[in-house]
Structure 1
Amino acid sequence: MGKRSTDAPSASSREILRFQHHSAHYLSHQDTVVIFQLYEQYPDYRAIYSDAIVNANIMLVVKYSEAPRFQGKGLTKSDLIQEGMIGLMRAVRSYDWRRGFKFSTYASHWIKQAMQRACRFGGFNGRAFYIPQQADVVTRIVNYEADKLRELLRREPTDDEIAATLTGSTSNRKKCMADSETVRAIRSRGSARSISLDAPTEHSDRSLQETLAPHEACQTEDIDISRDEAKTLAEQIITACLQCLASATDYRRNIFVRRFGIDRTRESLAEIASTLDRTSEAIRQSELWCLRCIHKQHGYDRETIDAAAEVLYPNR
């Protein structure tokens, strides 16, 4: 693009933006590229260009909010649209028009990811909070170990038993750095249910809000997991995955790395297929082969790997 300029864009450029801002017409790939070029060239007008892109892709968010995969997860359509808009705006900030693929393809990933995270952590049990990414990784490991112990012992494992398994493991999935208190916090949070402050209490007509004194602040049990600890765990997960695929072909390892954005920009099935001269289904099958191999050896699922990659490479 050459040297950036803070001068006002040309009249023709402003006319394009005004048209897009006040209409719901389809924005072609060529027009999208032009606007993103202007977005880079004129920093003072980025809010206008960003609005133009967002307004032209709102229906993409609405489309995914109606997808069956997001229904029945405890979130309304308006909630899903709100989360999808957050993903869309993040896509606007990180899209690189030089790579050649369509913005709608790139934005779809961020929209779906935002909705998926909202369904996982904000939907069930009416939870009104989100789990930080670093806690997300540890939560998955703790729940995985709890499931294994439950099957082995044929009873509900104690927090101490789960913590002992985590700290004593010698596998690549080891060292979650979760002591008994952390395990207890994770498990209690997972089973917690939200209660309306306006709902009457069990033995009184008074609401919960009226029952609680203003100075009696609700004490919550925090999950004491630092970002450094989460990063260490995420590195162990990604390293274990790559070591598991060491015997796989370069073709399959390449697909795995590109699909999860490991130390690079994350790519869709279609993007990888176009560069490797394969069909999207062939790429998907290779990705599934890698995931089955990793799950068999380490127990990681797609979402655990994705959460670990998000911790290490937040701008992927």
Structure 2
Amino acid sequence: MAKYKLEYIWLDGYEPVANLRGKTQIKEFNAFPKLEELPMWGFDGSSTRQAEGRNSDCMLKPVAVFPDATKTNAALVMCEVMMPDGKTPHPSNSRATIFDDPDAWFGFEQEYFLYQDGVPLGFPQGGGFPPPQGEYYTGVGYKNVGAIAREIVDTHLELCLAAGINHEGINAEVAKGQWEFQIFGKGSRTAADQVWMARYIMLRLCEKYEVDVNWHCKPLGKDVDWNGSGMHSNFSTKHMREVGGKAYFEALMEAFDKYKNEHIAVYGPDNHLRLTGLHETQSIDKFNYGIANRGASVRVPHSFVNNDYKGYLEDRRPNSQGDPYKIASRILQTIATVPTK
């Protein structure tokens, strides 16, 4: 028997953006624990905006487990928050009630800024701005990406892969100090679990560099000529991949237009600062789609059209603060309104 360090991780009750929380317990196991071996665990919900002090008990229900490569005999345990009975999902539990489809595939492109001392990495400490956007995207060299950031994103990639997270890539983004990682998963819960865990690993990693991760969708403000951060969401269902067709695609886009307000409602707060029609975005109150158009609401890859309208599509409206549980669920809810026959 070995003592395992289990980091229980959950989303708190803060709005409009939940924070990740974590605490560690020690349990003995013969080998790396399976999900069904992990016990529920209580916490003080009054300190996380999930309960009142006079009745503060909440429960953590393990729903996914990942190896933690930063420690010996350690695991990262993604949890849902439950009421004290251990059976009823807490109102803040966005995972428990989402629309899920194991045959739906999601690829999330998580953008973010790395900040130090109140400004993005590489920005002048005394105020002002670095040279304008242009050379930073997929840039190489100290003047474009610095030194600390490259070490952080490379280490984050290694830690995610060691955890079994389906991390598919990284790149420096358009703005100075801005980066992106991509996560792919099958099933909305599985994909979103991995995004949240990748976010957690990034936050924890940055602690030792005295660097903060800024997930806000427009941290530099709407009145400056710098890109915001999105979480472009690539999606497909089994029908989209195997049947598709132009008529089905057009009906699907009509549904996305019909429910555009419902999508925007869960695609992340402050999106009006980002979806302005500038910087490769469509205006927040409009919907359009276009082949390889990065300024469209939904970008249609050439591969989709050339394959008889089969494959995946990219919704470019979700932002970097969005809850991937809610984003995936809303996309699937809209898809479900379109007949497949």
> Shorter-chain-normalised TM-score: which range?
under 0.3
Query: TM-score, length-normalised on structure 1?
Result: 0.24
Q: Determine which structure has the larger strand proportion and give its number.
A: 2
Q: Determine which structure has the larger helix proportion and give its number.
A: 1
Q: Which is greater in Rg?
A: 1
Using CA pairs below 8 Å that are at least 6 residues apart, which structure has the higher relative contact order? 2
